[in-house]
A and B are shown apart, each in its own frame.
Chain A
């Protein structure tokens, strides 16, 4: 049948597209990181500068996603449950960090939080700057993850709890949060993956001081310039693995929770 032939052709084309775009480059990356065997791989990723960069990336990203989990939920709450003039505009703006090119974010954050800042803050070239940039670019993820769930949430459960004498904190803790947790976790996973890989907004604001403000992606970039491709590939694989592990773990966790929470 025509459809059958088309579907084989279709699958073939899809396969080629996926290979050209994802499989081949990733395979080349893994191969490069493995040249010289596991001993060289280990040596590349355990060099002091690499370790410092990876550690900084993971620690700052973890802090940033923790902040996002809290504030993202609060913002989602306000956008769903509250009413105020201009709410629609604020709601639309949440997606701005996603749509704005990272280099533009970097230029603007430098102007805003560096010397000559109109707000009087000067934290450019410090770890605080890294955190600020990452908070900016990962803003939408938790908010957009939680919003639809919050929207669909049945308020009557909360009201029933209140009428039975539960205080607002109790209602929050025992009724609302458990329903939101899978969504929060999902948003956190996406935030983390994004934060670990972020480059464009950091390249101007962080001073790229090895061991102090050099994040993993910038270290990889530097190693590419230094023509030390095995080192670049090795650290890339570590960063990728970190993001994937967190993504997979949190996705599984949120799916498990949504099955076990009514």
Chain B
């Protein structure tokens, strides 16, 4: 197409901006490039419109289809409100735990010296590879009444499965890897120079961590926290198995969506879905703001 044109213009200046490759001098070449660029853009945006934008539009359309009043009623419904707060409560417990764990694991894997690092990395990544349904099953097998720890838990009056702690556990498992995964590369890039300098100057381990390491990795950690929160808020499969679905008690917002949908309460289901979608959007915004910050901080 444009090869002959660019061949004869070997010393032409670089095309402005980051155009698709194959750009060179010559009008025919530019038009070909332009056409190709539009073609690729159309393919990409068309695919995204079909797959992404249509569902998003659908949620909002279906929610407000019958006006604002049904939506406001649905929001005010006690079970809906409880589901919302329960979801937030579960997130408020599991995310900090996973954050502390994630930073600790990252430190261990990047700064520690021991065999079996690969295995540890695999264990942390394991929740990625397990279906949520399987996680729910595994929890029941480990902590349920007939599970491994069932008797011990019963003796001590602790109820894990079919109760909020089980749901927290399920949520923590599915959102486990993110902080660790996002912190490790940042930790690696940070390097140990500053830390070593600090310790030769007499700083203790804690001081080094708080004053040198943590500020250096903070954007990686924050990004990981945002990912963890998003995953935790949206969890459905594992929680659905360990929940017991007691309305107003062990029903998270995603479970509420399912229950309302099954009862033909489309407005209730879609309203809750919109709330979750808005929370998802807020997470998206944070994720994208932070991606830029992370890159800025680690760019050398």
Contacts and interface: CB of A to CB of B under 8 A. Distances in A.
A200 B237 contact: yes
Q: Could you say which interface size class chain A belongs to?
A: 35 or more
B58 A25 contact: no
Contacts of B195: none
A77 to B, nearest CB: 7
Interface in A153-202: 155, 158-159, 161-168, 171-172, 175-176, 190, 193-194, 196-200
B236 A21 contact: no
A138 B138 CA distance: 24
Contacts of B179: none
Contact of B134 (A29, A111, A159): A29
A18 B237 contact: no
A165 B6 CA distance: 6
A248 B104 CA distance: 24
Residue of B43, B127, B205 with highest tally of chain A CB at under 10 A: B205
A60 interface: no
Nearest to B234: A101
Nearest to A243: B129
B131 A100 contact: no
A233 B141 contact: yes
B252 to A, nearest CB: 9
Contact of B126 (A22, A78, A96, A233): A22
B6 A162 contact: yes
B264 interface: no
A63 interface: no
User: Interface residues of A: mostly helix, strand, loop or mixed?
Assistant: helix
Contacts of B53: 93
Interface string A32-54: 10000000000000000000000
Interface stretch (B34-42, B69-77, B151-159, B211-219): B34-42
Contact of B20 (A81, A84, A233): A81
Contacts of B148: 24, 28, 31
Contacts of B137: 29, 220, 224, 229, 232-233, 236
B225 to A, nearest CB: 13
Given A171-B22, A236-B137, A96 B131 contact: no
A244 interface: yes
Contacts of A31: 141, 148
A139 B284 contact: no
A239 interface: yes
Contact of B52 (A1, A6, A97, A107): A97
Given A107-B269, A167-B1, 4 more contacts: A14-B108, A96-B284, A199-B131, A229-B141
Closest 7 CB pairs of A and B: A3-B205, A197-B131, A168-B22, A25-B138, A101-B234, A99-B280, A243-B129
